A and B are shown apart, each in its own frame.
Chain A
Amino acid sequence: MNFKRVDKYPKVTKWLTSKLGYYYNGMYSFCEGELKEQSIDFAYVVIVAKCHYNEDWKSFSSINKKDLLKIIQFNKSIGTSSNDITQVFENKAIDGFDVKTTIFDKELLNRLNAKKVLIPETELFNEYTDTSKVFQLETLAGTLFCGGHQIKLMSSYAKGIMTDIEVYKLSAGLHQDTQATVILSQNFPDFLLNQLFSQKLNILIKKIRLKPKTWFNVERLHILYLAPLLTALCFYVISNSYLFIQSMQIENKLAEGGDKVNKVLAQKRLLDEKSTVINILSTEFEDEHLVHNYWEIIFQLISQGMKITRITYSDHQLTVRGDAEQASHVLGEAAKNNQVESVVFEGPVRKSNSRDDFILKIKAKEKQ
């Protein structure tokens, strides 16, 4: 992925450009193809002129990358090189690695705060191709020669014996036929932007000083869980206090009305006990059958000529034993009695001395 895609979104490009600065003894902004002096603080991303940093190359032979990274990490932890950019390139010729360290001026670092992203300008011209390239750039700091192939890109301002591009080619070990790209000062800002937006992001990120830790206080990350935790704590403390107070209030009210309640409860208990007694007695007395009335039925049977030898009353049924001249007549007359619900013979009717000997089972009507 590269920045080139950003071109499709002019507003994004414009916004990115507005936050981009160029530093050479002061801050410059990219404004309509020109570099204009600005205050230090406006830019988040700063392209740094070559005169404000140095590049140091070291070779580490016969070492694996893991150990090399440990060495680099150790050097960083003991030194003050946290602002340096360290790039590691594999070098098969020495069975090891080349380490490129870009060291920024202390003066530059003092002026630009640690939050800013710093891009060494020469890193924008290195495309890591096998084809040798050479640039002659008219920068604010003067004419800058820059060229090389693959990973190694050398650069130098035109001063001292380095008077022109041909001399630079010789000193950088480049072929004389290598075509130089000349960028005039009026084209330099646009060239820088083009070079920046044509970078691949995954490669660019290794070539710049990026310190995300300085963008925010890392310790504040603890707030992400401490804040909900403390909120929950406050919630539980308040809600529990509220519930506790509520419970206490109700308990106090109950305690205040305790005597009254006990009295009412005692009354209720007494009421229940007495109700139970009443219910029991009601059940007992509701099963009332007045047997005295049955004598009327007995009298009727005797009136019909029955001679009674035994009268039994049990389970609200009357059993009458005796004899008569005609048992069926007695039964018929008994059935007509309005107090009798049902009357039947119990067992057979026997003849004895021209009289019927029988037993009547009579069920009387319930008295309303």
Chain B
Amino acid sequence: MKLVILKYKHYLILLMALLMANYVIVPLDNWQNKQQETLGLLSNKYNKTQALLNNNDLFNQKLEEIDKQLALSDQMLFNSKDEATFKQIAQSKIESVLTKAECKIERIGFKGNAFLQENIERWSLEIRYRGDATCLLKTTRGLESMEPYVRIDDYNVSHSGVDIKGIGEFNASLNVSVWYKEKT
């Protein structure tokens, strides 16, 4: 056996070299490529992290500004703990405007909603009422200057024929939008 090994030792050395190339050098090369990729990704992550940390103050500043804007916008929304409370508050506020304008309310109804964000919804309402010219003027002024914000999307006013004297009663139908934000 020893003699056989000695006889073929040159071939064995060459074979060992080939095996080393195939099972050591090639995997090492592959590993190196992977490591280079990983290092690149880690470097990018590190740079981004550093940039993020450096911008911490900027984020705080922006957050403060946005909080101020949100506080302002909150005044324009109906902030209620649940939908029923919101509907009750919204309806009562609109009724209050119409009552102050001495209008005769026929119907106030919620038509539907659209989800804008997780806790913000836009609701549409239909308002039907009757009244004189003063009632109409006060209603639109009252709704448009109301807080939270009410947007008049469209309206329809009919009369038997109003002239400069302004005598007679108007039948009005308004579609308005209000915004509801659920209090968390």
Residues on A lying within 8 angstroms of B by beta carbon are 218-219, 222, 225-226, 229, 232-233, 236-237, 239-240, 243-244, 246-247, 250-251, 253-254, 257, 260-261, 264-265, 267-268, 270-271, 274-278, 280-281, 284-285, 287-288, 290-292, 295, 302-303, 305-315, 322-323
CB-based contact B156/A312 at 8 Å:
yes
Residues of A within 8 A of B117 (CB): 276-277, 280
Q: Can you identify 19 A-B contacts, CB atoms within 8 angstroms?
A: A229-B17, A236-B28, A237-B28, A240-B31, A246-B39, A250-B42, A257-B49, A264-B52, A264-B53, A265-B52, A267-B59, A275-B66, A278-B69, A278-B73, A303-B164, A310-B156, A311-B156, A312-B157, A313-B154
CB-based contact B59/A271 at 8 Å:
yes
Q: With contacts A222-B10, A281-B73, A291-B152 known, is A274 near B63, CB below 8 A? A: yes
**Complex CA–CA separation, A254 to B160 (angstroms):** 77
CB-based contact B29/A236 at 8 Å:
yes
CB-based contact B154/A312 at 8 Å:
yes
Which residue of chain B has its CB nearest to the CB of A309? B161
CB-based contact B56/A267 at 8 Å:
yes
Q: With contacts A267-B59, A274-B66, A284-B179 known, is A312 near B155, CB below 8 A? A: yes
CB-based contact A310/B46 at 8 Å:
no
Residues of A within 8 A of B67 (CB): 274
**Complex CA–CA separation, A240 to B152 (angstroms):** 70
Residues of A within 8 A of B149 (CB): 285
Main SS of chain A's interface residues?
helix
Q: With contacts A240-B35, A271-B66 known, is A290 near B59, CB below 8 A? A: no
Would you call B14 an interface residue if the criterion is a C-beta within 8 Å of the partner chain's C-beta atoms?
yes
Chain B interface size range: 35 or more
Q: Which of B79-87, B104-112, B137-145 is found at the contact surface with chain A?
A: B137-145
Top 8 closest A-B pairs, CB basis? A236-B28, A314-B154, A243-B35, A311-B157, A292-B140, A250-B42, A307-B161, A274-B66
Q: C-beta contact mask, B61-78 vs A, less than 8 Å → 1, else 0?
A: 011001101100100110
CB-based contact B164/A308 at 8 Å:
no
Would you call B36 an interface residue if the criterion is a C-beta within 8 Å of the partner chain's C-beta atoms?
yes
Would you give the shortest CB distance from B170 to chain A, in whole angstroms? 9
Residues of A within 8 A of B63 (CB): 267, 270-271, 274
Would you give the shortest CB distance from B92 to chain A, in whole angstroms? 22
CB-based contact B17/A226 at 8 Å:
yes
Residues of B within 8 A of A305 (CB): 163-164
Residues of A within 8 A of B76 (CB): 281, 285
Residues of A within 8 A of B89 (CB): none
Would you call B99 an interface residue if the criterion is a C-beta within 8 Å of the partner chain's C-beta atoms?
no
Would you give the shortest CB distance from A220 to chain B, in whole angstroms? 12
Residues of B within 8 A of A264 (CB): 52-53, 55-56, 59
Which residue of chain A has its CB nearest to the CB of B140? A292
Would you give the shortest CB distance from A337 to chain B, in whole angstroms? 17
Residues of A within 8 A of B161 (CB): 307-309, 322-323
CB-based contact A253/B46 at 8 Å:
yes
Would you call B5 an interface residue if the criterion is a C-beta within 8 Å of the partner chain's C-beta atoms?
no
Residues of B within 8 A of A247 (CB): 35, 38-39, 42
CB-based contact B162/A302 at 8 Å:
yes
Contact among B13, B116, B156, B162 with A308 in the assembled complex (CB-CB below 8 Å)? B162
Residues of A within 8 A of B122 (CB): 284
Residues of B within 8 A of A303 (CB): 164
